[in-house]
A = this chain, B = another copy of it.
Amino acid sequence: MTGQRFDLVLFGGTGDLAARKLLPALYTRHRFGDIDAASQIIASARQNLSDKQFRALMREKVVPHVAKSDYDDTAWQKFEAQVSYVGTDANNAKSFASLRARLIDEPERARVFFLATAPALFTHICGHLAAAGCVTPATRVVLEKPLGRDLESSCAINNAVGAIFAEDRIYRIDHYLGKESVQNLLALRFGNAMFEPLWSRAWVRDVQITIAETVGAEGRGEFYDTTGALRDMIQSHLLQLLCIVAMEPPASIDPDAVRDAKLQVLRALKRFTATEVATRTVRGQYKAGAVDGQPVPGYLEEPGIKPGSRTETFVAIKAELGNWRWAGVPFYLRTGKRMQERRAEIVINFHNVPHAILDVSGSARTNNRLIIRLQPEDGLSLDIQAKMPGEGMRVQSVSLDLQFEDELKARRLDAYERLLMDVIRGRLTLFMRRDELEAAWSWVEPIMHAWAAADDPPKTYTAGTWGPAASSALIGRDNLAWLEEA
């Protein structure tokens, strides 16, 4: 596999994502022998920098983001020798000619353009690339979110990129799909017969998907204030996780088999009326509080936030799927900034036993549950009831745990390492197809509209908590509770 040569052009090459994630991921894969010595990584941005200047910049901005245990100076030197820089200006067609000159025409060489720029530039960049003769039928393009801010703008981006690149050359990244634990959920569901009979309304009581961050909007206030948690997190990551949980078993893991199955989930999501938005969603905004014992300002005090902004930093939603497998099973989605813990997880709560014959007085909880943890550490827990030692038949809950890190010795890949190598090798399975993206926007839009039309501001919550009380009430009305409250 090492033999796959490529030219990878990184637009936004001096940006934050390139420095924090993309270049460290490429270095790491290089170090572990996955990148052919004849491959080129070409960073590009508006500045005029020599290769040497860019490499110096990398040492300053990129190296600190490489895991210490993976860094090796000799390895870095070999890596940076394969990295060059070309200045391109999206408003200047000519600058793309010199980029064209750098690209190597070889039949087996993959050509990838990674657009780690503001989406406003996607159309221009794609147009210039085509005009400069950079795009062959096999050329791939990678798009980073946000891919629009509603259905219309998302369609506009897809139309523009789609005018130059065929759909099966477009890699839309949702980096949650690159996480080992999310792929493990796929492996769990489709590598094990035993979960299938459990995986439906007959045995699943509710599903909870949480992505909680402790960071606030700091550092990207202006962007965040025009976006909010619904667009930033729910429309992308949380719906993708929901798809992986709820999808039907695909016939293969080929890209379209998997994406067809995910699309069916998105299309089965019940659309909310305005009234339902009021009863099934909660939006919140944090006020000053403390995270990990450190005082933090409220959202409205953060730099870049418009005074009186109603942008939500927290969302909780009770979603439902209109299909045979899942009818009536609540899917609770929840995400927020400045939460009590950094934690991402999927909880599958199974029903209680239909008829209890054992003494459960020693048990805090009586239903089975499967917890797939994505953050801060990957892991899997299956909670079961076991007999307490001693007389009688009292049961208590115990966890069967799998810490992926301990259990599976091989080195684990960062999400971007995985996804970049998938792009280079032409594996589309973990990337979103246009119709998925648009189905996700279609479901989210009625919520956006209802919130925009509503008189009331978001519910406030104290930074460092699990969000507004309305979030507990949303799930509490069903006589259920979020994991940490259960």
Contact = CB atoms under 8 A, between A and B. Distances in A.
A368 B398 contact: no
Nearest to A32: B390
Interface in A356-396: 357-358, 360, 366-368, 380, 382, 384-391, 393, 395-396
A256 interface: no
A165 to B, nearest CB: 24
A477 interface: no
Given A202-B197, A368-B194, A187 B413 contact: no
A190 B252 CA distance: 36
Contacts of A412: 389-390
Nearest to A184: B387
Nearest to A354: B193
Candidate in A251, A400, A411 with the most chain B CB atoms within 10 angstroms = A400
Q: How many copies does the complex hold?
A: 2
Q: Report the contact-size class of chain A (Cβ under 8 Å from the partner).
A: 35 or more
Contacts of A402: 384, 386, 398, 400
Interface string A165-195: 0000000000000001001101110111110
Interface in A30-60: none
B197 A203 contact: yes
Given A192-B368, A252-B357, A404 B382 contact: no
A393 B182 CA distance: 11
Contacts of A360: 191
Interface in A399-418: 400-402, 404, 407-408, 410-413, 418
Given A389-B408, A389-B411, A393-B183, A384 B192 contact: yes
A188 to B, nearest CB: 7
A184 B196 CA distance: 24
B393 A253 contact: yes
A186 B385 CA distance: 11
A68 interface: no
Given A357-B250, A386-B184, A400-B400, A391 B421 contact: yes
A159 interface: no
A249 interface: yes
A320 interface: no
Interface stretch (A5-13, A141-149, A345-353): A345-353
Given A202-B197, A253-B358, A353 B389 contact: no
Interface in A182-241: 183-184, 186-188, 190-194, 196-198, 202-203
B386 A380 contact: yes
Contact of A194 (B384, B401, B410): B384
Contact of A191 (B183, B203, B358, B411): B358
Interface in A401-447: 401-402, 404, 407-408, 410-413, 418, 421-422, 425
B413 A389 contact: yes
Contacts of A186: 387, 393
A245 to B, nearest CB: 16
A202 B194 CA distance: 11
6 closest residue pairs by CB, A with B: A191-B385, A400-B400, A187-B387, A389-B412, A197-B197, A194-B368
Given A253-B358, A386-B402, 15 more contacts: A186-B387, A188-B384, A191-B395, A197-B202, A197-B203, A252-B357, A253-B393, A380-B400, A382-B382, A384-B402, A388-B408, A389-B411, A390-B412, A396-B408, A398-B407
Interface of A: 1, 180, 183-184, 186-188, 190-194, 196-198, 202-203, 249-253, 350-355, 357-358, 360, 366-368, 380, 382, 384-391, 393, 395-396, 398, 400-402, 404, 407-408, 410-413, 418, 421-422, 425
21 contacts: A180-B387, A184-B387, A186-B387, A187-B385, A192-B385, A193-B350, A193-B351, A193-B367, A193-B368, A194-B368, A251-B357, A253-B358, A380-B400, A382-B400, A386-B407, A388-B408, A389-B408, A389-B410, A389-B412, A389-B413, A400-B402
